[in-house]
Amino acid sequence: MVTRNDVARLAGTSPAVVSYVINNGPKPVSEAARRRVLAAVAELGYRPNAVARSLRARRTWTIGVIASGNTGGTSPFFGQFTRACEEVAWQRGYSVLLGNSAEDPMRAEGYVRRFMEHQVDGLVLMRVPIAPERAEEMRGRVPVVTIDHTAPPHFSRLAVDDEEGGYQATRHLVQHGHRRIGYVGGPLDITPVRLRAIGWRRALRESALLPPGPATSPLTPAEPTAADLRADDLIAEGEFSLEGGYTAALRLLSSAERPTALFASIDTQAIGAMRAAADLGLRVPQDVAVVGFDGAREAAYTVPGLTTISQPIDEMARRATETLVAAIEKENEEPLTEIFSATLITRGSCGCPEPHLRR
C-alpha cells in the first residue's frame, strides 16, 4: 500500500507538506511544492485513509445542511444558498450532506439526529425549528449556524431584514400610485412571511392606506400575530410554490374591489400571481403590478421581468459556512448574529422601465 512517506520521497518534500496539500491546510504550501505533491499522488495512485484521518483528527470533514423546503416547490433561495454553501465548504476541505425537512418538524428532528449520529462537524439550519431540549443537547457537541430570526443564544444566527424588505416593496408600489395593494404570502405562522407582511403593513400605514378589517388599528408595541394579519382582506396565504401564488392571487384579483398591485412573499409565488392575472385577462403592470421577494435568477426572465427584493444569498451562504468552519476549527467559537440588508431590483412588472438582458 502506498503511504504518505512514499509520496513525500517522490515529491522531495516532508510528509507534513504532503498532509498540508491533501488536507488543504492548516499551513500554506508553495505552488511549486503543491504541484510536485499532486504529481506524486497521481503517479503512485495514493489514496488517503479517510477513516484513519478522521480518527486521528476527531473530525469527519463533513457539514450538514438542513433546509426547510417542501415537496410542492419552494423558494429558489434554498437551492441557491445550498449551492453557494457547498462551494465554500469544498474550498475549505469539507463535504456537505443535505437534508430537506419538507416543513415537517418531525422530519427536521430526524435529520438533526441522523446527521449527528454520522458525526458531522457542524450544522447549518435554514429556517428549521429546533426543540429547546434538542438545542441544549447540541451545546458543546457540534457548532450550529441558523438562517433565521430566532435561535438559541449558543447558535450563530444570520438572517435578512425581512420586515424592511416588505416595507421597501410596498413603498415602491405606493410611489407608483397604487392605493390598494395586496399581499400574497406563504403561511403567516412562518417568521419571515409574517415579518414581510408587517413591513407591507407599515408602508400602508405610513401612506394612510391601511386595509379594512380588525387588523387595521394602530400597531401596539407588540408585533401583530398571524391571526391579526389574517383578518386583513388584502392578505391571501398560499403554499411556497407557483400553484400557491397562483391560487392566492386568484382570490385577491377575483374580489369585487380587486387590488391594483400585489406584493408576494417569494418570487415563485409572484410568478404564479402573474399567471393568475393573465388568466383573468389582466395585464402586468398596466392592470396589476407585481413585486416578489428573493432575487431569484429566474425573475429576470419572466415577461415582463419581475421586480423583486433581492437577498444577498451568496454572501449569506459564504458568511454562514465560514462562520461554521471557524467554530469547527476553533478559530472563533463565539456565536455570531448578523442581519443582512435586502435590495430592491426594479424591472417591468411594477411599471418601471424594462431592462434588456442583451448586452
String of DSSP letters for 284-318: TTTT-EEEEEE--GGGGGSSSPPEEEE--HHHHHH
Whole-number average pLDDT of the chain:
86
Q: Is the pLDDT of residue 230 over 70?
A: yes
**95 and 202 belong to one structural domain:** no
- What's the CATH code of the domain at 214? 3.40.50.2300
Is 317 domain-assigned? yes
**35 and 140 belong to one structural domain:** no
Classify strands 343-345 and 307-310 as parallel, antiparallel or unpaired.
Answer: antiparallel
Residue range 307-325: mean pLDDT, rounded:
94
Distances (CA, A) of 205 to 45, 163, 167, 173, 259: 68, 14, 10, 14, 16
CA distance 60 to 300: 40
Q: Is the pLDDT of residue 13 over 70?
A: yes
Backbone angles phi, psi at 265, to 5 degrees: -70, -20
Q: Is the pLDDT of residue 56 over 70?
A: no
Rg (CA), the chain: 25
For a pLDDT cut of 70, what percent of the chain falls above it? 90
Domain limits for position 88: 62-161+313-341
**139 and 69 belong to one structural domain:** yes
Q: Is the pLDDT of residue 216 over 70?
A: no
**306 and 321 belong to one structural domain:** no
**More confident position, 50 or 273:** 273
Q: Is the pLDDT of residue 152 over 90?
A: no
- Cβ neighbours of residue 206 under 8 Å, at least 6 residues apart? 171
Residue range 33-41: mean pLDDT, rounded:
90
Is 252 domain-assigned? yes
Is 357 domain-assigned? no
**134 and 41 belong to one structural domain:** no
Q: Is the pLDDT of residue 190 over 70?
A: yes
* Amino acid at the residue 150: T
Is 56 domain-assigned? no
Quickly tell me which residue has 499532486 as its cell.
38
**216 and 258 belong to one structural domain:** yes
**77 and 151 belong to one structural domain:** yes
Residue range 118-142: mean pLDDT, rounded:
85
CA distance 279 to 243: 13
Q: Is the pLDDT of residue 123 over 90?
A: yes
Number of domains in the chain: 3
Is 57 domain-assigned? no
Distances (CA, A) of 278 to 211, 286, 289, 296: 25, 12, 12, 21
Residue range 111-139: mean pLDDT, rounded:
86
Residue range 35-43: mean pLDDT, rounded:
89
* Closest by Cα among 171, 145, 124, 158 to 309: 171
49: pLDDT confidence band, cut at 50, 70 and 90? low
Residue range 216-239: mean pLDDT, rounded:
74
For a pLDDT cut of 90, what percent of the chain falls above it? 49
**303 and 225 belong to one structural domain:** yes
**pLDDT of res. 75:** 65
Residue-wise pLDDT for 192-201, tens only, equals 999 999 999 9
* Amino acid at the residue 62: T
End-to-end alpha carbon distance in the chain: 56
Is 198 domain-assigned? yes
- What's the CATH code of the domain at 15? 1.10.260.40
Is 18 domain-assigned? yes
**154 and 113 belong to one structural domain:** yes
53: pLDDT confidence band, cut at 50, 70 and 90? low
